[in-house]
A = this chain, B = another copy of it.
Amino acid sequence: MQKPIAMVSLGVMALTLLALAAGVAWGQRYLPQPSPEPLALMPWPRQLTLEEGKYRLTTEFSVSVTGNPAPRLDDGAARFLRRLQEMTGLFLKEARVTTAPGRAAALRIQVNRPGAVRLGEEESYALQVTPQGITLRAETDLGALHGLGTLLQLVLVDEQGYYLPAVRIADAPRFPWRGLLIDVARHFMPMDVIARNLDAMAAVKLNVLHLHLTDDQGFRVESRTFPKLHQEGSDGEYFTHEQIREIVRYAEARGIRVVPEFDLPGHATSWFVGYPQYASAPGPYRIEEYFGIFDPVFDPTQEGTYEFLEKFFREMAALFPDEYVHVGGDENTGVHWKQNPRIQAFMTAYGLTSTEELQARFTTRVARILERHGKKTVGWEEILAPGVPQSAVIQSWRGRESLYKAARLGHGAILSNGYYIDLMEPAEQHYLNDPIPPDVALPEAVAKRILGGEATMWSELVTPLTVDSRIWPRTAAIAERLWSPGSVKDVESMYRRLAVISRYLEGVGTTHLRNQAALLRQLAGREEVGPLRLLVDLIEPLKGYERNKEGKLYTRHSPLTLIADAATADAPEARQFRRAVEEYLSRRPPSAAATVRRALERWVANTPALLEIVARAPALHEVRPMVVNLKDLAEAGVQALDALETGRTAPPAWAAQAQQVIDRARQSHGRTELMVVDPVERLVKKAAGQ
């Protein structure tokens, strides 16, 4: 028997050690990697065993399917073949599943039954690559699609061409609900954004697209029952019924559920522009230009409100096939409820002592409406209250207490706290955010109700041009957290693979790399942007809610084409520099000293060219101080390194001056911050003997 190895992505050395440690049976060897990249699968499979040999990709490559899959597998296989051709440039003779009788296909897929795109459906698969051919077995076509995705990520190169390494994989997800929320309300995201992100989601085995369709800034779905919702509640940008059907079809073809969110009772300004009669304050209303938390809220005391919602949800229940509908429930300020004497009287009459209790009453009635239309409710953690049906799924966003509380109370629960990718935190932070970390002990029945989680792409500060650069590649790390075993958590391995997957996703269609380059060209007003790119690779947008301080800096119309929009989380050069400094300070290897010095000198040398670009581009003037600060910082770093390398302690006067440079470099400019200040400070302090 061969023992599986859960992680072989740590480079050849570690891989070999792991192989030995696992007591690999005779006949298996761990390949030296002839390609520049070792295996870079993401999410990492549950079980993976590398074997000896390579399956060579040629123009003869072909796919056959046996068993009883849903028709989506044929299209999925055609997409797989197209992607394989695009990646390799091979002119395959067959562009679709082989129908030629008798011919043995290179890839033989066996599926037992059609999969249904719904929560909890079987998604496992088993893959075996040998030098002679490939077999992919799955209970459902959904599992087979995942296996095809893994195969594409397995493609490697050597001197002779493209190949798949001989490998044996048995894979299945840890959690059944692996989602991405896209907020199409604050900034509308048109069809092509949704389509390419569905492709990318499928590529990293995510299976839920949560569409945040309504909010104070816009109502983004056509309602034929109440047409003023989209007509007056939006700026003209919304999904028609046909488009929603197309999204659902596109997602379902890729094994992805679409969960629509209609945020109630708060975050509801856009509903009231056309239908003020269901609000708790008289109006008139107009869609919000700014972002934040606003008071407009449904009136839960009128029967008319429920009649309206009954008709509305009847329409939407027919439009969205998934068994879940998300009703929001978050951030109701209660202000308009408290200000309305009729609502106050209602609360008194029914003995409701808080607006939370009133909201629970509202939510319960809405959940009953959905039940009548065959739907279960999902809501943000605020809906967790007595009376809400146990079938409701709770989405935790403020902390993870509500996750466990909901599960203990018998609810399904999903985690979004820690997966707020709009806050521009590093991938590492999301990656290590485990829904059920080892130190949380839950009874098995409770743990099973932790269904998974969702990355949330709130769209206050993104447009179709930049949204991919916020979602990807970080969401691939979240996808791994939700798919792979909890033991897969090596951050360095994650970042190494993430760099490969980032380019892989670009091939799938995401624009996170190419649109950044386009933004830099526009900012610089020229085609050659190397010096500017170096700066952007060292800075990140302000994190958390700092960038749009107090919600007052940006409106729906503000340009999002400045340096903060070109910058991304995980500034790549900054991360490498921090690692090099850490290595240098811990072990002082000469190689790390050289790496650190090369980086610092490169930043200094880059300054004149960068200043020239900045001078000619008024939109970049805001970062001029940062360019100077970076140069000063880098020079201080070089001096510190000089001192450390010669073994002399730097004088206190120098250290004091360097500290001023460091403090200046910490100031943000253009809503961004330099991500290399801390490591230079460490060098300086060390050099000064502090």
Chain A residues within CB distance 8 Å of chain B: 35-37, 82, 85-92, 95, 157, 159-162, 190-192, 240, 242, 499, 503, 506-507, 511, 513-515, 517-518, 521-523, 525-527, 555, 557-559, 561-562, 615-619, 621
Contact = CB atoms under 8 A, between A and B. Distances in A.
Which residue among A95, A159, A555, A618 has the maximum number of chain B CB atoms within 10 Å of its CB? A618
B513 A521 contact: yes
Given A511-B514, A525-B37, A85 B557 contact: yes
A91 B526 contact: no
A561 B557 CA distance: 37
A432 B490 CA distance: 61
Given A192-B192, A558-B85, A561-B86, A616 B522 contact: no
Nearest to A96: B557
A654 to B, nearest CB: 35
Given A36-B526, A192-B191, A89 B514 contact: no
A558 B90 CA distance: 8
Contacts of A619: 88-89
A157 B240 contact: no
Given A36-B616, A157-B617, A242-B240, A91 B506 contact: no
Contact of A506 (B36, B513, B521, B621): B521
B89 A562 contact: yes
Contacts of A82: 557, 559
A688 B580 CA distance: 55
B91 A558 contact: yes
7 contacts: A86-B522, A89-B559, A89-B618, A89-B619, A91-B558, A95-B557, A503-B521
A99 to B, nearest CB: 13
A618 B559 contact: no
A289 to B, nearest CB: 9
Number of copies: 2
Nearest to A35: B616
A165 to B, nearest CB: 15
A559 B93 CA distance: 11
Contacts of A35: 616
A288 to B, nearest CB: 14
Nearest to A516: B514
A24 to B, nearest CB: 29
Contacts of A515: 514
Contact of A525 (B36, B527, B562): B36
Contacts of A525: 36-37, 157, 503
A188 to B, nearest CB: 13
A517 B528 CA distance: 13
B526 A513 contact: no
A85 B561 CA distance: 8
A200 to B, nearest CB: 14
A400 B86 CA distance: 39
Given A90-B559, A561-B89, A503 B517 contact: no
A35 B562 CA distance: 20
Contacts of A526: 36, 503
Nearest to A621: B161
Which residue among A89, A90, A527, A559 has the maximum number of chain B CB atoms within 10 Å of its CB? A89
Nearest to A156: B525
A618 B561 CA distance: 37
Contacts of A562: 89
A525 B36 CA distance: 9
A120 to B, nearest CB: 30
Contacts of A95: 555, 557
Nearest to A553: B91
Given A88-B618, A191-B192, A518 B513 contact: yes
A401 to B, nearest CB: 39
A364 B242 CA distance: 38
Contact of A616 (B157, B503, B521): B157
A618 B557 contact: no
A332 B159 CA distance: 48
A507 B522 contact: yes
Contact of A518 (B36, B242, B506): B506
A528 B190 CA distance: 31
Given A503-B521, A517-B514, A618 B85 contact: no
